[in-house]
């Protein structure tokens, strides 16, 4: 079979309208491409009460070690106002050296580049007897309930083990070769409800304004800083993301106030120690605030919402250095080693094998006119092939 072209693969994938959780033809396309290459392909639908069913794909080439996994997702975020796009978001038009389309960089581009790279590697190494697998979900941009987490458990339950993994997320902030990610901060979200007593603003002594208590609690959560950072991670950061009294009237003291926050935390903390710290700060602030007219402690409840994403750090030097060397050999750049950014499906993979992330430039991900430079698609393909050459040899 002739070597596959990454640009053509990417254009074909973009044309599949796989807005999460829809498969959109993307996984069928991958199956049609991978099977002739010699992959055994399995497509699995996972379900969960209250969540949409999601189709996923697992494909493996070879049955011997070492075993390298490439992980990614074909689902994409909604397009937004399509009329605002320079080109139709699912047309995959090439304009001035850039491929336009939803998912071009996040992350159909990474998938296309890896498949093209492996097809080229096979052409040069027909006696290759290691194993390569692709773990592709349709639920990364969604709730991430029926995707990578379950797909890993499914594959591991059938006896699959892996020596290393590359996640093809768009890790580079400005130029291809900028950055390899070797870990991610954890993420925790919560909602705090502060109770007061509703009343007339002209008679505050007959009411208890919960906004005063909420202000004190928010201040206590944000100050002092939770930590100063570590050698591998920036300081833990807590951001208040919403404050709401549900009160449209200007002359009414509200009865309750809610605020929500998200924390991106480093490896100073784990889930339990961070929750303990938050509880301690809230309790102290509730008992010591001087903003309120009433001397009683602030009445509040805290509810942790969504699943906590754990912090992780990959320390596999072979994996990290091989990717760094591949970038340097292929395009002459030395990438930074980083743990910045939000969460990714690497948070699930790290429980099964060492994992790093490296892909295209992410400047336009999730934006109107998401696009990838043709030169970057071609360059990433060369980098992935160089990685395969060095890692397996």
Same domain flag for 251 and 326 = no
pLDDT at 342: 85
| Dihedral, CA of residue 55, residue 60, residue 65 and residue 69, to nearest 10 | -50
Instruction: Establish how many alpha carbons lie within 13 A of residue 236's alpha carbon, considering only the half-sphere containing its beta carbon.
Output: 25
Question: What domain range is 346 assigned to?
Answer: 6-184+311-392
CATH number, domain containing residue 245: 3.30.70.360
Same domain, 281 and 235: yes
Q: Which of 262, 286, 309 is the last residue of a domain?
A: 309
| Coil/strand/helix, residue 1 | coil
d(CA 332, CA 340) in angstroms, rounded, equals 23
Q: Strands 40-48 and 98-100, how do they pair?
A: unpaired
- Boundary-marking domain end, from 309, 342, 372: 309
251 and 109 in a common domain: no
Per-residue pLDDT tens digits for 9-51: 999 999 999 999 999 999 999 999 999 999 999 999 999 999 9
**Residue 3 pLDDT exceeds 90:** no
- pLDDT, mean of residues 252-262: 97
Which of 12, 23, 55, 75 is catalytic? The answer is 75
Q: What is the CB neighbour count within 10 angstroms for residue 5? A: 16
Q: Do residues 51 and 158 both lie within one domain? A: yes
Question: Residues 6 or more apart from 158 whose CB is under 8 A from it?
Answer: none
Catalytic hit among 140, 277, 357, 376: 140
Residue 356 sits at φ, ψ, to 5 deg, of -130, 165
Residue 341: pLDDT band by 50, 70, 90 thresholds? confident
Residue 57, domain member (yes or no): yes
254, 145: one domain: no
Residues 144 and 110 in one domain: yes
**What's the whole-model pTM score?**
0.90
**Same domain? 78 vs 213:** no
The confidence score (pLDDT) of residue 319 equals 98
Mean pLDDT of 82-92: 97
Same domain, yes or no: 295 and 318: no
37 with 169, same domain: the answer is: yes
- Strand-pairing partners, residue 309, are 187
Give the DSSP letter of residue 84. Answer: G
Does residue 1 belong to any structural domain of this protein?
Answer: no
Q: Which of 282, 309, 336 is the last residue of a domain?
A: 309
Distance CA 265, CA 271 (A): 9
How far is 71 from 356, CA to CA, in rounded Å?
10
What's the pLDDT score for residue 296?
80
Residue 266 lies in a domain: yes
Q: Tell me, yes or no, whether 54 and 117 share the same domain.
A: yes
Q: Kindly state whether residues 303 and 319 are assigned to the same domain.
A: no
User: Is residue 315 domain-resident?
Assistant: yes
Quick check: is 351 catalytic? no
| pLDDT score, position 203 | 96
75 is catalytic: yes
β-strands 164-167, 131-137 pairing: unpaired
Q: pLDDT of 128-154, one tens digit each?
A: 999 999 999 999 998 899 999 999 999
CATH number at residue 172: 3.40.630.10
Measured CA to CA, the distance from residue 131 to residue 59 in angstroms comes to 11
Q: What is the pLDDT of residues 380-393, one digit of tens each?
A: 999 999 999 999 98
Q: Which tens digit of pLDDT belongs to each residue from 191-232?
A: 999 999 999 999 998 999 999 999 999 999 999 999 999 999
Task: Say whether both 21 and 143 belong to one domain.
Answer: yes
How many separate domains does the chain show? 2
Mean pLDDT, the chain, rounded, equals: 95
Q: Which residues contact 8 (CB under 8 A, 6 or more apart)?
A: none
């Amino acid at each position: 079979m002739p070597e596959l072209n990454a640009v053509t693969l990417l254009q074909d994938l973009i044309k599949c309208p796989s807005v999460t959780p829809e498969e959109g033809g993307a996984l069928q396309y991958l199956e049609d491409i991978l099977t002739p290459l010699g992959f055994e392909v399995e497509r699995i639908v996972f379900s969960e009460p209250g969540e949409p069913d999601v189709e996923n794909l697992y494909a493996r080439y070879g049955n011997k070690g070492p075993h390298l996994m490439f992980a990614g997702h074909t689902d994409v975020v909604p397009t937004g106002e399509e009329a605002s796009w320079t080109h139709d978001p699912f047309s995959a038009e090439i304009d001035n050296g850039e491929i336009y389309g939803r998912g071009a960089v996040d992350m159909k581009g990474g998938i296309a580049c890896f498949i093209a790279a492996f097809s080229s590697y096979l052409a040069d190494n027909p006696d290759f007897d290691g194993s390569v697998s692709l773990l592709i979900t349709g639920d990364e941009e969604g709730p991430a309930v029926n995707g990578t987490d379950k797909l890993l458990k499914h594959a591991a339950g059938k006896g699959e083990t892996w020596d290393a993994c590359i996640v093809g997320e768009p890790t580079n902030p400005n130029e291809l070769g900028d950055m390899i990610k070797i870990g991610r901060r954890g993420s925790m979200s919560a909602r705090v409800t502060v109770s007061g007593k509703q009343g007339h603003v002209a008679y505050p002594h007959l009411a208890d304004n919960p906004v005063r208590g909420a202000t004190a609690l928010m201040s206590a959560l944000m100050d002092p800083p939770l930590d100063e950072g570590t050698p591998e991670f920036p300081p833990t950061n807590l951001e208040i993301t919403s404050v709401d009294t549900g009160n449209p009237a200007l002359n009414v003291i509200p009865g309750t106030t809610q605020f929500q926050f998200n924390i991106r935390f480093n490896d100073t903390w784990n889930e339990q120690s961070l929750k303990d710290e938050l509880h301690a700060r809230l309790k102290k602030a509730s008992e010591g605030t001087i903003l309120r007219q009433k001397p009683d402690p602030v009445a509040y409840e805290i509810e942790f919402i969504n699943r906590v994403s754990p912090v992780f750090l990959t320390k596999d030097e072979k994996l990290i250095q091989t990717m760094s060397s591949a970038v340097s050999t292929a395009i002459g750049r030395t990438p930074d080693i980083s743990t910045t950014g939000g969460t990714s499906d690497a948070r699930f993979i790290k429980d099964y094998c060492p994992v790093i992330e490296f892909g295209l430039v992410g400047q336009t991900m999730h934006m109107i006119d998401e696009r990838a430079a043709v030169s970057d698609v071609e360059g990433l393909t060369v980098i992935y092939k160089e990685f395969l050459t060095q890692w397996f040899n």
